[in-house]
Amino acid sequence: MKSKFLLAITLLILGSCNLVRMKNRQTAKNLKKEAIETADFDQDSLHIKYWKGGQGPTLVFIHGFGGDAMMTWERELAHYAKTHTVITYDLLWFGKSYSNEKANLLTQTAALEKLLAYLKVDSATLIGQSYGGFIALDFAAQHPEKVKQLVIANSPGSTFNVSYLDTVCKNYGVSRIDELFVMDRPTDLQRLINMSTYKKPQIPKFILKQMYSEFFDQYHGQLRLLLQTLPAEKDRISDLNAIKEIPTLVIWGENDELFPKREGEKFAKAVNAQFESIPNCGHAPQMDNHDLFLKIMDAFLLPLNHQD
């Protein structure tokens, strides 16, 4: 009886604290120790929150359709800031970034172009996961001279067979894919976690509520448009000839329920890329197996950087 009482008190105390916000503050402190600072970029109708630090060849990390840049890339930034200049940012309508422009892939890509121009980055390696991979690919197709290397994680580009998404929707009880990623209730977030991760951890409801409030409770209209317009927009990057000339690594979580491994292999073949799959990983391999993800990245990045 006493242990149950203590557990109830503990849960009550935790529920009254915003653990997600506390984690964000701690992450910011950890990155600051690595001399990675955050700042804001404003131009025309854009407001972009970004992080930058380190010295050396530039790596730009582009997050996917969930959370924000800091949540997705904290450990990668700390790791590579020792040998590279690292940059990441909240995509438009995620985290602390927003815009009055139309919500589509082209707007996201143009925002990245403006941010890199502002930061005086002439060329960089782009690392994009999931939706971020579409942005990296679109940018590289438009500006191949500005992309030194590409790393694409669980993002099938313009070769993807969109009919696979019907199966995903059926498996998770939604009628459209945007219903899975743009949630109306905090409890829906558990469904997204189950789809994205291999281990499918069950998150306490009060933490789901905090995560939802911090990352998912705004810009629903724009986020739905980003997903609804993506299938048509991917036709703009159907010409992959420019990408074939860029050294490219494709990393895949072997157990991805959103984009099957065979779709990653097909995309890698289309762009003459190196393909690496990580077992026991879902849609976000950098989170499911961070150490192996970094090991694969290191092996790809370091040889070319040593030539520089």
String of b and e for 207-234 (b: at least 16 CB within 10 Å)? bbbbbbebbbeebeebbbbbbebbeebb
* pLDDT at res. 98: 97
In this prediction, residue 12 has a pLDDT band, given cuts at 50, 70 and 90, of very low
Look at residue 8 and tell me whether its pLDDT is greater than 60. Answer: no
How far, in Å, CA of 161 to CA of 196, rounded? Answer: 19
The pLDDT score that the predictor gives to residue 304 is: 56
Model confidence at 231, in pLDDT bands (50, 70, 90)? confident
Residue 302 pairs in a beta bridge with none
Inform me whether the pLDDT recorded for 2 exceeds 80. no
**3-state SS, residue 42:** strand
Nearest one of 134, 15, 135, 30 to 73, comparing CA atoms: 30
Judge whether residue 306 has pLDDT over 90.
no
CA geometry: angle at 127 spanning 75 and 276, to 5°?
90
Q: What is the pTM of this model?
A: 0.92
pLDDT at position 303: 65
Q: What is the predicted pLDDT for the residue at 232?
A: 84
- Convert the pLDDT of each residue in 60-115 to its tens digit: 999 999 889 998 999 999 999 999 999 999 999 999 999 999 999 999 999 999 99
pLDDT of residue 15: 46
Domain segments of the chain as ranges = 2-307
Per-residue pLDDT at 217 exceeds 60? yes
Q: What confidence category does residue 164 fall into, taking pLDDT thresholds of 50, 70 and 90?
A: confident
Q: What pLDDT digit, counting tens, does each position of 23-60 carry?
A: 888 888 888 888 899 999 999 889 999 999 999 999 99
Per-residue tokens: 14: 């935790």
Q: Report residue 5's pLDDT band, with 50, 70 and 90 as the boundaries.
A: very low
Topology classification of domain 2-307: Rossmann fold (3.40.50)
Strand, coil or helix: what is 192?
helix
Count the Cβ atoms, other than its own, within 10 Å of residue 189: 20
CA nearest to 192, candidates 224, 168, 217, 214: 168
In a 3-state reduction of DSSP, which class is residue 239?
coil
Q: Which residue has the tokens 């010409």?
A: 239
